[in-house]
Amino acid sequence: MENYIEKIQIRKSNKLAGLYPSTKALIVLMYAVCTFIVNTIEVTDIGLPLFLIPQFLVILILCKASGVLGRCIKALNTVAVVALIILLVQTFLVPGGDLIWRFGILRIYERGLRTAVSLSFLIMNIAGIFVWLFQTTENKEISRALEDSGMNYKAAYVFTSTLQMIEILGRNSKTIMNAQKARGVETEGNLIVRAKAFFPSLVPLILGAVISSEERVLTLEARGFTMQGPKTHLFELKKSGWEGKAAAASVLITVLLLAGRIMLWLL
């Protein structure tokens, strides 16, 4: 029993990655506030919030310092694709203000370019800090922290199981598509070919999710999930020791940035 209890514990040598989840949530909140503050600082003649671009480097530095840069880069690639699409659509399709550039039917207006830079890099920064949060924090850490904060254990389970369901459905979808490919079904090609292979896989995917949810209910009942009384936790969530320093630094940076922005407004 002791070996099992020790096996399920999470030991992190990296102090940043091992921060308590509530401290990480505070860092995420402060970073989001800083992002919106930086978004109000406009440079160039047309008022572009270009400081959002170097701010994204903070995400990469934070991921590198936490030892999860490789995993974060993979997740950020998807975010970058979405941000790039928004950047192009907003740049070329949103009119307003003076005409900056024109080539054939393509036109770039001041308002479109300003909106494109602002929206795309807001997404990159805010999504990036959430990527860092979830790449350095496991679901059971979040669940235990929520319970320790006073949240009802049922609500904490619903929250964490929702996060797990996304990962489980993605993994099951890949398994079904590989099975389809092994049967000779064409799953690669243009959009129409992929759609023909994807939509038939939804039925076993949904049925599998329903069956797994029933099994999960039986497992929870066997462990006394619905019984009243104090709960026993085999998993112990410990602090890394840097929580106070990290929280103070994030709040201090946010306050200094806000004070600097107010001074710029006054000047």
Q: What are the φ and ψ backbone dihedral angles of 106, each rounded to 5 degrees?
A: -85, 130
* 205 touches 169 (CB < 8 A): yes
DSSP 3-state assignment of 43?
strand
In what helix (H) or strand (E) does residue 181 lie, and over which residues does it extend?
Answer: helix 153-182
- Calculated CA dihedral for residues 172, 178, 181, 182, nearest 10 degrees: -120
Q: Rounded to an integer, what is the distance from CA 111 to the centroid of its chain?
A: 29
Kindly tell me if the per-residue pLDDT of 2 is higher than 60: no
Kindly tell me if the per-residue pLDDT of 71 is higher than 80: yes
Question: For the chain, how are helix, strand and coil distributed in percent, rounded to 5?
Answer: 70, 5, 25
Q: How confident is the model at residue 31 (pLDDT cuts 50, 70, 90)?
A: very high
Q: How confident is the model at residue 55 (pLDDT cuts 50, 70, 90)?
A: very high
Distance from C-alpha of 139 to C-alpha of 161, rounded to nearest angstrom: 8
Distance from C-alpha of 258 to C-alpha of 114, rounded to nearest angstrom: 22
Nearest to 143, CA basis, from 28, 247, 225, 69: 225
**Percent of the chain, pLDDT > 90?**
32
Q: Rounded to an integer, what is the distance from CA 26 to the centroid of its chain?
A: 15
The pLDDT assigned to 133 comes to 93
Give, as one character, the DSSP assignment of residue 156.
Answer: H
Kindly tell me if the per-residue pLDDT of 185 is higher than 70: no
Q: How confident is the model at residue 100 (pLDDT cuts 50, 70, 90)?
A: confident
The pLDDT assigned to 103 comes to 79
State pLDDT tens for residues 200-253.
777 777 777 777 777 777 777 776 777 777 777 777 888 888 899 999 999 999
Kindly tell me if the per-residue pLDDT of 62 is higher than 90: yes
The stretches of 183-230 forming alpha helices (DSSP H) are 191-198, 202-222
State pLDDT tens for residues 134-164.
999 988 888 888 888 888 777 777 777 777 7
Which token pair is 175?
A: 């398994």
